[in-house]
A and B are shown apart, each in its own frame.
Chain A
Amino acid sequence: MSTPIVSITAPENPVEDFLRTDRMPHIWCPGCGIGTTVNCFTRALIDSKTDLDKLSIVSGIGCTGRVAGYVNLDSFHTTHGRAIPFATGLKLANPDMTVVVYSGDGDLFAIGGNHLIHAARRNLDLKVICVNNLTYAMTGGQTGPATPLDVITATAAYGTYDPPFNLPQLVDAAGAVYVARWTTFHVKQLARSMAEMFKKKGFGFIEVVSPCPTLYQRRNKMGDALDTMKFYKQVSKIKHGAPTNEVGLTKSGEIIVGKFVDRERPDWTTMMNAHLQQELGEKYIPAEAPVCS
């Protein structure tokens, strides 16, 4: 059946509804991948039909932490490393909320590392998106817990000799039920992964490898953001289900991406309710979502 060509005024970019347009333009550098991840986040929210009034985003400090300020959701820009415990309180007080933690590699794995592993251990129902630009970008590009070996940083003028964490491995070992990694090149897959994670109960984690052209790539003469995106395209290999101990990152080696872990384990609230119900029977009164009264 032929459809008449109608003149359509350009529909709005679907991301606009999700942005605090009164705060644009954002502070991220040209070619920074964080904005790209926000597009994927937006797409995932649309595709998973998440009720936006019932979704909160919690971030820490750093370039990625600024995401909370730019998205039009109930958003909490907390202290360095402590997005996850804040998110824990938010979620437990209001179990009907979907709580997303959106933060960077340094914030989540160095200062926030302890909270990350405990939240994963407990399998708290939190969705963690970790933009890994391999550095502490906001403060000028210092070495972080995810910075690969032999890389120049602001605090490693002669190259790093600090072995980095393998982020998916750590989170997997701590007990997360969903672990994936993509790069900012893999926009479609990233959006799909995010949507998948939003619908899965329990501690979910997605690492997104992203350029920091101003600091990380520039200091290491790795070209600009576009060069980095082409590098990701070239060296990435999709290996769903890869053992997480095999997906560590190096300065210029292959980047294994994909969904590594997708398992079932009851989340903390479910376990608490089941256990207390069993022990206390009728005397157990589960906490209800609060109302404004």
Chain B
Amino acid sequence: MHADPIGVLTGAHFLDGDHAACEGAIAAGARFSAGYPITPSTEVVERFSQRAPKIGATFIQMEDELAASITILGAVWGGVKAFTVTSGPGFSLMMEHIGYAVMTETPCVFIDVQRGGPSTGLPTLPAQADMMQVKWGSHGDYEIIALCPNSPQECFDLTIKAFNFSEQYRVPVFVMMDEVVGHMTEKVVIPPAEEIEIEPRRWTSKDKSSFQLFAPCGEEQAPEMAKAGDGYKLHVTGLTHNERGYPDMTPVVQERMVKRLVTKIRDNAEKICITEQIDIEGADVVVVSYGITSRVAQRAIQNARAEGLKVGSLRLITAWPFPEHIIRAIAPKVKGIVVAELNLGQMVREVERCAGGHCKVKLVGHAGGTVHKPEEILKAIQEVVR
């Protein structure tokens, strides 16, 4: 299915990441957003609030992130594609409803423009320190999908991808930006609507007596979708429930239901994991990075190669589910993996886990507030190679 032209500003633009993400959401078909202002994400919804009245969309600024994060879920069940946007402190507030979205298999998108933390931290400065939180921040066992753009263009493209994944797997999907990517202004090319692939909502065609809102379908193991108002008498609850949606709080159903919420993502991980792999074949060292740090790592790798070092790059475009299979394949073949991230060690833990001791894993961490210097990453590459 193609994008609805009404939302698509075809052409070349000079946009920052926040604005590009908003355009991505609109191109993907989002027609509802509920937000709450928080630096450095606010521009995403500010732009949406301006665009909405001219494209048949609705924006409402809610009283807090607790409200915003569930208002979008209500809108989804009312039949539209919806998203919200936030940063660290707001993200923390949204955790309960992220869990609710997972449990009720509500397709939606959350954009987190990461900033320095913890707590109020550095509202106007970057970090990438919510990476574990996006996976584990809500209580209980669950899987989500998280994508990391490293440019305003990717903010546009990956936000569309996020909506598409959310509809395909009936799961909340996260666009993990950071303050630099959000506020850097670059060329963003928005294609014609007919060239933008959109995943439509998987509306059921089953009749009212046979449709089950939580019965898995297809390879995705994700159920088909319905909306309120069509006579299906849906029941949606955060309690452990059966395929009909009725609460069924027993270990048997817990096992069946919660396992499926997890396996629908894990079993499809290879399809969901998008990475950018450069010069991995024959590399002595691979640098793993994502988001803004990957732009710095690019320079460090360039410099390392200029010194004759065989360095490859693995950029995580999908951070979750973590591309375990790729790390497992790389680790036995390299001397070491350097993980550069704008935090004190988050995704590196996944790399270490999957490397399984087959190679050195070196973190180039950073407490946040600014981006790495290429020299820091180069130094780590040189140490690993020795």
Contacts and interface: CB of A to CB of B under 8 A. Distances in A.
Is the A/B pair a real complex? yes
Interface stretch (B60-68, B121-129, B189-197, B377-385): B60-68
Interface in A188-220: none
A55 to B, nearest CB: 9
A77 B235 contact: yes
Interface stretch (A40-48, A88-96, A156-164, A222-230): A88-96
Contacts of B332: none
B74 A69 contact: no
Contact of A79 (B60, B96, B247): B96
B323 to A, nearest CB: 32
A290 B79 contact: yes
Given A89-B70, A93-B32, A287 B57 contact: yes
A78 interface: yes
B386 interface: no
Contacts of A289: 79, 229
- Range of interface residues on B (Cβ < 8 Å): 35 or more
Contacts of A81: 66
B160 to A, nearest CB: 18
B29 to A, nearest CB: 10
B78 A89 contact: yes
Interface in A68-107: 68-69, 72-79, 81-82, 85-94, 96-97
Interface stretch (A1-9, A236-244, A257-265, A278-286): A278-286
Contact of A96 (B80, B203, B229, B235): B229
B236 A77 contact: yes
A54 interface: yes
A85 B233 contact: no
Contact of B79 (A58, A93, A118, A286): A93
Contact of A94 (B79, B226, B235, B246): B79
Contacts of A123: none
Chain A interface secondary structure, helix, strand, loop or mixed?
mixed
Interface residues of A, number: 47
A118 B80 contact: no
A293 B203 contact: yes
Contact of A89 (B32, B63, B230): B32
Interface stretch (B48-56, B254-262, B267-275): B48-56
B78 A79 contact: no
Nearest to A84: B67
A132 interface: no
Contact of A68 (B56, B96, B235): B235
B228 A74 contact: yes
Contact of B238 (A56, A78, A89, A284): A78
B70 A292 contact: no
10 contacts: A58-B74, A74-B229, A75-B234, A76-B237, A77-B235, A79-B238, A85-B34, A88-B60, A285-B53, A290-B227
Which 7 pairs between the two chains have the least Cβ-Cβ distance? A89-B74, A93-B78, A290-B79, A77-B237, A89-B75, A85-B67, A90-B74
